[in-house]
Structure 1
Amino acid sequence: MTTLPEPDLRHHGDAEVRGSDLTDLAVNVRAGTPPAWLRDRIARSLDTLAAYPDGRPARAAVARRHGLPTGHVLLTAGAAEAFVLISRAIPARRPVVVHPQFTEPEAALRDAGHRVERVLLSAGDGFRLAPEAVPDEADLVIVGNPTNPTSVLHPAGTLAALARPGRVLVVDEAFMDAVPGEAESLAGRTDVPGLVVLRSLTKTWGLAGLRIGYVLGAPELVAALERAQPLWPVSVPALTAAEACCEPAAVEEAALAAARVTADRAHLVDRLAGLPGVEVCGPAAGPFVLVRLPGADAIRERLREHGFAVRRGDTFPGLGPEWLRLAVRDRGTTDRFARALARCLDRAPADRRVE
């Protein structure tokens, strides 16, 4: 294991934009969301707030969406809550987190008293995972797919190869619904021992403030996690959103949004390719891209002066201050950002290339 300076595991993209009017490329929530039909549906649920939450309809909707019995589903207050439940309910002796990735899994494990090992993937390999990199003795393995912040989509077969008796394999698929066809998803699989898949509804649907996600896994694992939850952990509006977002029409809408994100990401990558010194980690599969450029920490501050917030990379284990994560936005926003980045790079020829 490589020893690196300890990053701030509790730093997240919202810190870059909180209290500002900057154009947000730091947070991975899809812009222009939630849609009006979903806002209206959530608003109507407020008439039922006097009753205690009943998660059964939403749980059934999630199960139907993934072709699973309801006993394989647990609703959570966002995917982040699931990491806390896992850290408390899974008696892991040797937990391993594959990095760079979302930092809350490791933070939750450490808060619960676990000693966490890191498997650090390399930029030289495109941040690709080889199953043999994970120690055989690891009894809890956590990996993202597509991974935040690298935007790498690991093959389903590679991740399934990590499973073995006595090991819990947690695959964070918070951004999988932004991948056309949800290629390489393990959601709905019941043939992978110890598999736990996490999903979030906050990214595609713009519900970060509502907190709603879910866990898919074998009934005995789901039951163990549920025992670690407080009573009524998911609110009535959040349950309403979960049920609505798992209906066939909503799944189709999310698929169309994934196609738009793919096209908008290609446009962003093309614009970045015209800037000298900017290296894009690819191929990217999520609604964000990871870039490396000299002096990225200073560039990030200069971008703020030009009205843009981007996500620093040095708080992710395995990355350093030369990395930035950029959320995919519409083409107009991307064009404005590319011009601002060119000015921050202080390279006149590059500035002309992005006009």
Structure 2
Amino acid sequence: MPDDTDFPDFDHARLRHHGDVDARPGMVDFAVNVQGSAPPRWLRERLAGRLGELGRYPGDADERAAREAVAARHGRSVDEVLLLAGVAEGFAMLPRLGSRLAAVIHPSFTEPELALREAGVPVARVLLEAPYRLDGAVVPEDADLVVIGNPTNPTSVLHPADSIRALRRPGRIVVVDEAFADAVPGELESLAGEHYPDVLVFRSLTKTWALAGLRCGYVLGAPEVLARLNHGRPHWPLGTLQLEAIAAVSEPAAVAEAQRKAEAIAADRTAMIPRLRELGVEVHEPAAGPFLLLRVPDAELLRKRLADKGIAVRRGDTFPGLETGYLRVAVRPAEAVDRLVAAIRDVGL
């Protein structure tokens, strides 16, 4: 399980690559993990009801209401909630914690490492090998910041909460990227409702609720740590519609709806895996997220051939720890999978 603090050849462009680059308008989109092309009608109507107020600056009452809704959703206090314009904004704040050595556990979402490196923070890449199970022993003991995804993008591995708790050390902050936790039925292994002085839990609202264009999320943690993240942030960091969306999807009825979506995703994933394997595609399991990690003989050639047929899949070689030969695909309903399967059959592996 190697780690490296230097990586003189690390490529900013590869770390900044995301699935939206692979998906052109009109394509059948397996590259982006957003569920649906637009928010549900009830949420669109609620946001539309605030359009007439956009001539005013966002008010403290709106921010307070959103924080209260998030706090109630996770059983936290209001001062344990920091609202974000998307989780990526939160990762850009990580350098404010003043880490001397940050360990980023890979393969995983690359924005945290990029933000840390661009700020000059030394980074140790901890590269997990298949089946990508977390082993705290491979994390450098002198790392005072550790970043891990759960479930992890792109492997779809769900790490036991006990394994993540075991990363805690005096003087260390553990950052858990739970951007896809609400896509796991029951939100198993989540730390969002637990109170630790040294654990930050990041949550995204853009995936389940198709709000990628609005940029909504939050981080949960100890007030003094959140204050360090928030230091130097501009006034009005979130707009009225973002605050309204965060409050809306944190309400009990919306949380119940998200869980129904998670159950549907799990059923679609269960049905999708054998169909891909029948084609000779290697599918990594166990998988718990709304996406699957695939291995094929020539991933880049297959990706290009599928794109020619109007199907977008996410390249995997930009994730540290994955050599060539990997693709990531979003879990989709049967009718979309029909098209993917037919296209793979047509172009071959």
TM range (shorter): over 0.9
| TM-score (ref. length: structure 2) | 0.95
Distance 2:34 2:127 in 1: 26
Local SS of the residue matching 1:164: coil
1:243 matched to 2:247:
yes
Whether 1:148 aligns to 2:156 is no
Distance, in Å, in 1 between the alignment partners of 2:211 and 2:238 is: 13
CA distance in 2, matches of 1:32, 1:316: 25
| Residue 96 of structure 1: aligned partner | 103
Contact 2:155 2:287 in 1 (8 A): yes
Secondary structure of 1:17's partner? coil
| Alignment-derived partner of residue 15 in structure 2 | 9
1:336 aligns with 339
2:274 alignment counterpart: 270
4+ residue segments displaced more than 6 Å = none
Distance 1:308 1:239 in 2: 34
Residue pair 2:197, 2:221 contacting (<8 A) in 1 also: no
Relative to 1, partners in 2 of residues 1:78 and 1:147: Cα closer, same or farther, differing over 3 Å? Answer: same
Separation in 1, partners of 2:36, 2:64: 30
Compute the displacement of 1:50 (Å): 2.4
Q: Does the 8 Å CA contact 1:292/1:322 hold for their aligned counterparts?
A: yes
Cα deviation for residue 2 of structure 1 reads 5.4
Return the letter of the residue paired with 1:47. Answer: G
Q: 8 Å contact 1:163–1:193 — kept in the other structure?
A: no
Q: Distance in 1 between the 2:330 and 2:36 partners? A: 10
Q: Does 1:76 align with 2:84?
A: yes
Residue 312 of structure 1 pairs with residue 318 of structure 2: no
Query: Aligned-pair distance for 1:156?
Result: 0.3
| Match of residue 208 from structure 2 | 204
TM-score (norm 1): 0.93
Q: Structure 2: how far apart are the matches of 1:344 and 1:130?
A: 39
Q: Which residue of 2 aligns with 1:350?
A: none
2:73–2:251 contact (8 Å) kept in structure 1 = yes
Give, in angstroms, the shift of residue 228 of structure 1: 3.4
Equivalent residue letter for 1:325: R
Instruction: Tell me how far 1:84 sits from its aligned partner.
Output: 0.7
- 1:105 offset after TM fit, Å? 0.3
Contact (CA 8 Å) 1:63, 1:73: kept in 2 or not?
Answer: yes
Measured in 2, the distance between the counterparts of 1:77 and 1:294 equals 39
- Structure 2 SS opposite 1:74: strand
Could you tell me which of 11, 26, 29 is aligned with 1:24? 29
Which of 104, 117, 129 is the matching residue for 2:124? 117
**Contact 1:145 1:171 (C-alpha < 8 Å) held by counterparts:** yes
RMSD of Structure 2 on Structure 1 (CA): 1.3
Structure 2 unaligned blocks of 5 or more: none
SS class of match (1:122): coil
| Alpha-carbon distance in 2 for matches of 1:306, 1:90 | 46
Output one character per residue of 1:273-327: Cα deviation in whole Å (capped at 9) or x when no partner. 1012x11111110100000110111010001112200000000100122000000
**Distance of 2:265 and 2:18 partners within structure 1:** 22
Contact persistence 1:62–1:246 (CA under 8 A): yes
Give the superposition deviation at 1:33: 3.3
Q: What SS does structure 2 have at the residue aligned with 1:269?
A: helix
Counterpart amino acid of 1:106?
A: E
Return the alpha-carbon distance in structure 2 between the equivalents of residues 57 and 294 of structure 1: 51
Distance, in Å, in 1 between the alignment partners of 2:128 and 2:197 is 24
> What letter is aligned with 1:154?
H
Residues 121-148 of structure 1 deviation map (CA, whole Å, 9 limit, x = unaligned): 102xx11111111111110000000000
The 8 Å contact of residues 22 and 307 in structure 1, kept in 2 or not, is answered as yes
Task: Tell me which of 139, 143, 150 is aligned to 2:144.
Answer: 139
Q: Corresponding residue for 1:39?
A: 44
2:259 matches 1:255: yes
Aligned length: 340
1:214 aligns with 2:218: yes
C-alpha contact (below 8 Å) 2:19/2:32 kept by paired residues: yes
CA distance in 2 between partners of 1:132 and 1:193 (Å): 22
Supply the AA of the counterpart residue of 2:123: V
Runs of 5+ unmatched residues, structure 1: 347-355
Per the alignment, residue 188 of structure 2 pairs with: 183
Equivalent pairs: percent with the same residue?
54
| Matched letter for residue 203 of structure 2 | R
Report if aligned partners of 2:3, 2:124 keep a CA contact under 8 Å in 1.
Answer: no
- The aligned residue for residue 174 of structure 1 is 179
Q: Which amino acid aligns with 2:51?
A: L
